[in-house]
């Protein structure tokens, strides 16, 4: 029997399943099956993005399950994200329409600005400078992009809008101009990186946190041999043993108990199913404390291509770390 995944409510009254399938860094050719498997075992929340270059595969998986009669479109919650090369206001609607075509959908449940920093406009996802280490920047300000997302809601193409990878000051700037407030800020969050100040600020503003890389993204393309592996951490393993659960299940449960929506990625049917088996146990106060004490500011996704950009969200913390 597939677990029933509960939902939480945004400030505007719309609901989102607390657990979703992440699709970042999923190997090409395996995403369609992963989506079908996820829906089969009870997932109703799929997180994708234009930059992942696999939305057509996600769309094929969704279409197959709808065709089978396993789900209807309104049963699903599908998120995508506006990429950095489409921040210019006149490009936003076209970028969404490309995503909708790829996903074979008429509307999205949630559309996010993927990063606050804009890149040189065009269809090259990472328009690199000659040194190959940094991208060409665009000076478009995300506060000028936001009204275009609001107009997508007005047009019925998007049900909810939000942010991703925005720091406290950047969220404040959006709130200052917003007619429709962001419902979520999707950020990296796991025991090595809690982003406590940002989470507390968003909670005060009733902006739900969606946690990506909750398992520490062990298969990320830039992983180094000596990088710590979160799922191998002695505390995580000890708690897994205590609760007769896997390290991944402990880490997913941790995010849920912090009050976050969580989107672990997998293409293995067995792991996709196991990742949803987190509603039959609870971490105790001491368990939560032990995980909170693993903080090491261990950011996995610094988007170092855009260091130097005036809107890079983590520039300050990396400068401090180098001092």
Residues 243-295 pLDDT 10s: 999 999 999 999 999 999 999 999 999 999 999 999 999 999 999 999 999 99
For residue 43, is it within any domain? yes
Q: What is the pLDDT of residues 27-59, one digit of tens each?
A: 889 999 999 999 999 999 999 999 999 999 999
Q: Mean pLDDT, the chain, as a whole number?
A: 95
Residue 2 confidence (pLDDT): 61
Domain of residue 157, residue span: 10-320
Residue 141 maps to which CATH number? Answer: 3.20.20.100
Does the predicted model carry a pTM greater than 0.95?
Answer: yes
| Whole-number Å distance between alpha carbons of 226 and 131 | 27
For residue 81, is it within any domain? yes
Does the active-site annotation cover 107?
Answer: no
For residue 2, is it within any domain? no
Does the pLDDT at position 133 exceed 90? no
For residue 106, is it within any domain? yes
Our count of domains for the chain comes to 1
For residue 4, is it within any domain? no
For residue 3, is it within any domain? no
Q: Which residue carries 């996820």 as its tokens?
A: 38
Residue 286, number of CB atoms within 10 A of its CB: 9
| Whole-number Å distance between alpha carbons of 268 and 132 | 34
Looking at the chain, the whole-number percentage of residues with pLDDT higher than 70 is 98
Does the pLDDT at position 77 exceed 90? yes
Does the pLDDT at position 1 exceed 70? no
For residue 5, is it within any domain? no
The single-letter DSSP state of residue 180 is S
Task: Give residues with Cβ within 8 angstroms of 235, minimum separation 6.
Answer: 191, 290, 291, 294
Q: What is the pLDDT of residues 173-221, one digit of tens each?
A: 999 999 999 999 999 999 999 999 999 999 999 999 999 999 998 878 8
Of the residues 43, 52, 142, 192, which is catalytic?
52
Looking at the chain, the whole-number percentage of residues with pLDDT higher than 90 is 88
Q: What is the pLDDT of residues 110-124, one digit of tens each?
A: 999 999 999 999 999
Residues 172, 12, 8, CA angle at the centre, nearest 5°?
100
For residue 226, is it within any domain? yes
């Amino acid at each position: 029997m597939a677990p029933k995944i509960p939902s939480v409510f945004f400030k505007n009254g719309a609901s989102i399943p607390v657990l979703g399938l992440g699709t970042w860094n999923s190997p090409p050719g395996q995403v369609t099956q992963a989506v079908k498997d996820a829906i089969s075992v009870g997932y109703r929340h799929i997180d994708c993005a234009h930059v992942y270059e696999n939305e057509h595969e996600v769309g094929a998986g969704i279409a197959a399950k709808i065709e089978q009669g396993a789900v209807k479109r309104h049963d699903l919650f599908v998120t995508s994200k506006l990429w950095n090369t489409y921040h210019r206001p006149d490009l936003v609607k076209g970028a969404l329409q490309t995503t909708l075509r790829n996903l074979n959908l008429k509307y999205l449940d949630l559309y996010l600005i993927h990063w606050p920093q804009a890149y040189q406009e065009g269809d090259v996802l990472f328009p690199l400078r000659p040194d190959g280490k940094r991208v060409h920047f665009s000076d478009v300000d995300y506060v000028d992009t936001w009204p275009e997302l609001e107009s997508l809601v007005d047009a019925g193409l998007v049900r909810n809008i939000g942010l991703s990878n925005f720091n406290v000051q950047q969220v404040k700037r959006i709130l200052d101009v917003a007619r429709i407030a962001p419902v979520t800020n999707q950020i990296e969050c796991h025991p090595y990186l809690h982003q406590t100040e940002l989470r507390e600020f968003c909670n005060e503003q009733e902006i739900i946190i969606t946690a990506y890389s909750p398992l520490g993204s062990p298969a990320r393309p830039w992983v180094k041999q000596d990088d710590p592996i979160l799922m191998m951490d002695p505390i995580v393993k000890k708690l897994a043993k205590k609760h007769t659960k896997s390290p991944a299940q402990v880490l997913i449960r941790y995010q849920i108990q912090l009050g976050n929506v969580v989107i672990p990625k997998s293409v293995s049917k067995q792991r996709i199913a196991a990742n949803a088996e987190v509603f039959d146990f609870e971490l105790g106060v001491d368990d939560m404390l032990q995980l909170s004490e693993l903080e090491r500011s261990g950011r996995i996704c610094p988007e170092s291509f855009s260091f130097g950009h005036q809107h890079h969200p983590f520039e300050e913390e990396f400068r401090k770390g180098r001092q």
